[in-house]
Each structure stands twice: as C-alpha cells, then as structure tokens.
Structure 1
Amino acid sequence: MAYTWGSDTDYETTTFNYTDDLSDFSGHLCENDDNFNLVTLNHTVFYVLVFVFSLVGNNLVVWVLVRYESLESLTNIFILNLCLSDLLFSCLLPFLIAMHYYNWIFGEFLCKLYNLLFHISLYSSIIFLMVMTVQRYLSVVHPLSSLGSYSRRSRAGIITGIWVASILASVPDTIFHTVLSDKSCHYSELKWFLLSVYEHNFFFLFSMVIILFCYVQILRTLFRSPSKRRHRTVRLIFIIVMVYFLSWAPYNVIMFLITLIKLQLIQNCEVSKHIFYSFEICKEIAFSHCCFNPVLYVFVGIKFRRHLKMLCHRIWPWKWNLSPLPQSPGAFFYDEASFY
C-alpha cells in the first residue's frame, strides 16, 4: 500500500477516513512512497505502546474508583465513564495497526462497527468533560443550586443520556462508511466526509466555548475562596480538559485543512505534503490521549496517589510507609466526595 494522493479521475470515489492513513485525499497526483515504511513502523510501535499504557492505566483508575472511592459522587462516576470511553478507544488501536499493513480486511460489518465505536468514544469523551465542567461550575459558582445530592436515578439518567447522545451522534458516520473496491474502509461519498469533519469541528468548538465560559466564572469565584481542596478538584478537571483540548485541537484543524484539499481549494503538492506530515503527527498526539488521564491523576490527584501507595503497600509492605491524607481547612459548604 503506497501513499498515492488521488488524481482527478478518482477524486469523487476515493475518500478519506478519520482513522485510516492519509492516502488519496488530494485533487491531483502527489506521490509520497518513500516515507510509507517509516511511517508504518512508527505507527506500529507508537500505537502498541499507547494500547498497553492505556489498558494498564485506565483499568487501574477503574479499580481504584470501584475499590476505594464512593460512586455516590457524580464526579467520580464521570471519571469512571471517561475511563471506559478511553478503554473503548484503546481497543480500536489494534485494528488501526492492522490497517497500516493490510488495509481493511475485516469486512463490511466490522468497518461500520469500528467507526461507530470510534465516534462514540470521541463524542462521549468531550461530552463527559463538558458536563463535568458544567457540574463543577454549578458547585463552585452556584453552590445552592446543587446542594441536594443527585439521586441514584438522576445519576443513571445523566450517564445514560450522555451515552445515548454519543451513539446517536455517531450513527451518520457509521451509515456512510463502507468497504470500497480498493479494500479500504472509507466514507462512501465525499460529501459525507465533509459533513462529518464540519460536524466534529463545530461540536469541538461549541464544547470548548462552554468549558471556557465555565472556567472563567470558576476562577473568579475561587479567587475569593480559601478552600484548597476545592482548588485541587477544579485544578485537576481543568488540567484534564486542557490536555484534551491540546491533544485534539490540532487534529481538528488538520482535518479542516484536508477538506480544503478535497474541495481542491489547496492544490499545491508541497503544501499537501506538509499537511500530510502534520496530520500524521497530530493523529498520534490525538489518539494517544486515551492514556494521558491516568498520568494526570497520579501527578495531580492526592487521594489517587494515596490509593496507589496502599496498593503498593499490600504488594511490598516493607517499602511503603503510609501517612494520613492531608486535611484542608475552609472547605465550601458544598464539596462532594471525589478521589482528588
């Protein structure tokens, strides 16, 4: 499989897949065979590492939440589902590696299922982060509006609603993906690819505007509060959101530029090559996001580090001395339990 960017004759039939290599996306011939082997090897090693780290890290977070923490906390439930979303994405990486070597060999049904799960993971991650931010905004800026703890039914309704919304948003991408004659799993027509990119761009920008507004209001409130614990909670969610934004924002920009190439608004071969190289880098950064959050919990979450020490103490009791968790004075009236 060589990276050959399509000619005018196949411009309308060969389209680009979010999760496949950047081949045949130009409106003119632009050969790039020399770098295929290097790119394939790099992807293989990189995605294997991401797959392993994500499985280990996210399963560890799930274990800590279930074993040590209260799932009565809505924030903890959000974190748990965020881990499940990352694990879902991680399970798709072996298919991504296989596509680099064999193109799509798994048939029509798995082509659609693969893209369904990919987009469910994509949408659910950003929705959970957005709702987490809104919930933290309500607890900090409008604490009286969230004094009552959420009932089990309401928590289940919120989580179910997010997953259902993610599934519904992923249906169009699933329907319009098919296995083409060249054994690639792509959008059946160019217009569906363009629609998908613009939909993702809009949704990403909309969620970032909501998150930015919430954090501006949160920071204004925190400057007037002495609660260090509340500061830690907001800080962790803020870092999680920022890492997500920095991981996926370049990818969304590159995908928008690819639509310009598809529409032949960019026809320069050198520019197309630079976009290709940028895409490969941005894709690796974005797809590696599934293993970032556990690392953030280790460095920012005090209670999470404590739980990891307890685990290590059980395995190597002679190497770990456990000290009590620090207590923070001046807590807010509303401050739900979480593993921060």
Structure 2
Amino acid sequence: MGNCIPVSPRVLESSTFFDLMDIIENFSMSENYSSVDYTDAKPCHNSYCLIFQHVAPTFLATACALAVLSNLVLLVALSKCHHVWSQPHGKALVAQLLVGSGLFTLLLPIFATSIWYGWKLGMGPCKLVHVLWHWSLFAQGLLVASGFCTAWRRWDRPSQRLAVVVWAVALLLAMPAGFTSGTVANSEVSCILRKVEILSPAYLAQLTIYLCFFLLLPVAVAVGRLAVPWLRKGWEAASWVPWIFFSLWVPYSMGLAVELLLHVQVLQPTCSTFEHFDFALGLCKALGVLHCCLGPLLLLFARLQHYQRRSRSMARAARTAPEGT
C-alpha cells in the first residue's frame, strides 16, 4: 500500500529539494534523524514508510481474519440455503465470487508477513504472489460485470464456457504484475509491486489495465444496462451490491493516475505534495482491500432481503387469489 518503495516519485532537485526515497533510506539507517547532514538544506520529511511498516501488517492481519469469517458465512449460506440464491446472482456466480474473494484473502497473511519480517522466498514466488493477487482481483471484477448474463442462471455448458473465459481473461490481465513486481534490498529484502520505473512499458500497461478495469468497465456496463432493454429485465434492488467492489477500488485507480501525472510533472511536484500523496494512496489501497471483508456479507444480506420480499409478495398473491376467482 502506498509508495514505500525505492522507485517512489522524485521531488524537484534544487538546493532545497532532495530525492524523497534517498532521504527515507537515510532515515531507516539511522535511529537519530538529526545526525543526517543535509548541508543546511530543507529536506522533505516523509514519515509514511515508518508508519506503513508498523500499521500495514496489523491492518492486513485484521482484514484477513474478518474476510475469513465473512467468506465462511457466505459459504455456509451458499451450501445450506439453496432457496435464497436465485436471479440475478445464481449459485454459479456467487460460488466463483467466493473463490476469488477466498484467494485474495489467503494472500493477505503473506503480504503482512513480508512487510513485518522481510521477504525470504526469492524473486519467483514474489512475482507469483502478485500475479495471483491480481488474478483474484480481476476475476471478481469480471464476474461482477458479467452478473447480468443469463448464463449464470444454472451451471450448464454455456455457464462453464463463460467461467473459463472470465478466469482466463483475468489471468491475462494479471500478467503485467509479474513483469513489474520483484524483490529489492533496502534495509531488508522486500517484495514490491512496482520494481520498475513508472514510465516503463510494463508498468504503463498495468496502469492502463487498472484505469480501464476500475473506471471504464463499470461505467460501460452500467450504461449498457440502462440502454439495452433486455439487460434491464434482470435489474433488481440487490443488483447494486456487487458493485461495491468497483466503488472500493476506484479511489486507488485514480490515485495511480495522479501518481503518473506527478511523475511526468503535469501536476507540480512539490515537497508538500509527496509528503501527503503516499498516505492518500496507501489509504485508497487499504479501502480496496476491505472488499474481501464487506463484499460477501453485503451480498448475503441483500439476497436474504430479496428473498424475504419475494416471499411476502408470493404470500400476498396467494391470499388475494381466491378473492379474484
């Protein structure tokens, strides 16, 4: 979360501004910050990395515990309450959302441990973990976006083919993460998502995927649902619940876009800007991580509410039917 990595943005180099990460590295190598000599210049003081290393493991561990509980609750409801899972979110779709959320959740302790103790597994596993993390993320997004498809009504050949396409496309979208991630040696070895420069082709491809996926895709699907009549037929109150997934990740995607603008100096890079930007980007990513805790419970709650409304409607229809005959 955030930019506690050796390739963070550079502040304008002058007599009063220094490379931000060089200063942070000096901070991490010295317990006494006052012993660092800046030749009477006024450096950028950024405390994000120090706070990140203390807060992030606890946050990820807590999020993992809550996500495990919420996913288990959804799993029990999916296996025991068969009557609840009707359109537009049939069991085939919900089960795959559960798999994606579960995979995302299982990776959180790995990231928490690597932040706290350092990465001990080498370059290959680091890349694999980031690819799996993005695979689960993009698969959930594609499943949410395809929720209106009638193929999810049952688990038959058309729905199976659609599932293969969804997971294959999600894996393809996750591959740039394998090229941009890797291990770096700072105070200790870390497994980071962006080892390359922000203007490298691999990272620009990954950034483009983020922006298209989390900003353009939900807008396109929403416009399509409103514009195409047969897509509106499956619209109901519970349909908005999975879209919380996109809502939680939109701020992080916008933060990545702002980061690019800062690097190319479309936005004026100043000390004050970078002092606050890492905190904002870290909080945005933390907000996105919460989807694995909130999503399963909100989906189950919405389905139970829909089932109760439908049951009451059927009961009223049954009571009024004899009067009309």
Q: Give the C-alpha shift of residue 23 in structure 1.
A: 5.4
- 1:206 matched residue in structure 2: 216
Q: Is the partner of 1:256 in helix, strand or coil?
A: helix
Q: Which has the larger radius of gyration?
A: 2
Q: Is the partner of 2:90 in helix, strand or coil?
A: helix
1:183-233, Cα deviation, whole Å (9 max, x unpaired): 3334453212232112210222231122321443589997xx9xxxx77xx
In the alignment, is residue 120 of structure 1 matched against residue 128 of structure 2? no
Structure 2: distance between partners of 1:149 and 1:279 = 38
TM-score between the two structures when normalised by the length of structure 1: 0.70
Structure 1: distance between partners of 2:142 and 2:104 = 15
Structure 1 gap ranges (5+)? 1-17, 140-145, 307-323, 331-340
- 2:191 matched residue in structure 1: 185
Letter in 2 for 1:328: S
RMSD: 3.4
- 2:169 matched residue in structure 1: 165
Q: Give the C-alpha shift of residue 125 in structure 1.
A: 1.1
What's the % identity of the aligned pairs? Answer: 17
Q: Is the partner of 1:203 in helix, strand or coil?
A: helix
Q: Is the partner of 1:180 in helix, strand or coil?
A: strand
Summarize the alignment of residues 102-181 of structure 1 with structure 2, pairs less than 5 Å apart: 102-132=117-147, 134-135=148-149, 152-181=156-185
Structure 2: distance between partners of 1:302 and 1:120 = 29
1:36-59, Cα deviation, whole Å (9 max, x unpaired): 443333323322221011111112
> Closer, same or farther in 2 for the Cα pair 1:188/1:325, shift >3 Å?
closer
Structure 2 gap ranges (5+)? 12-18, 21-43, 316-325
TM-score between the two structures when normalised by the length of structure 2: 0.73
Structure 2: distance between partners of 1:108 and 1:221 = 45
- 1:260 matched residue in structure 2: 261
Q: Give the C-alpha shift of residue 66 in structure 1.
A: 2.5
The answer (yes or no) to whether the contact 2:215–2:253 under 8 Å persists in 1 is no
> Closer, same or farther in 2 for the Cα pair 1:40/1:304, shift >3 Å?
farther
Q: Is the partner of 1:105 in helix, strand or coil?
A: coil
Q: Is the partner of 1:124 in helix, strand or coil?
A: helix
1:213-259, Cα deviation, whole Å (9 max, x unpaired): 1443589997xx9xxxx77xx22221221x22321010000111112
Structure 2: distance between partners of 1:235 and 1:304 = 8
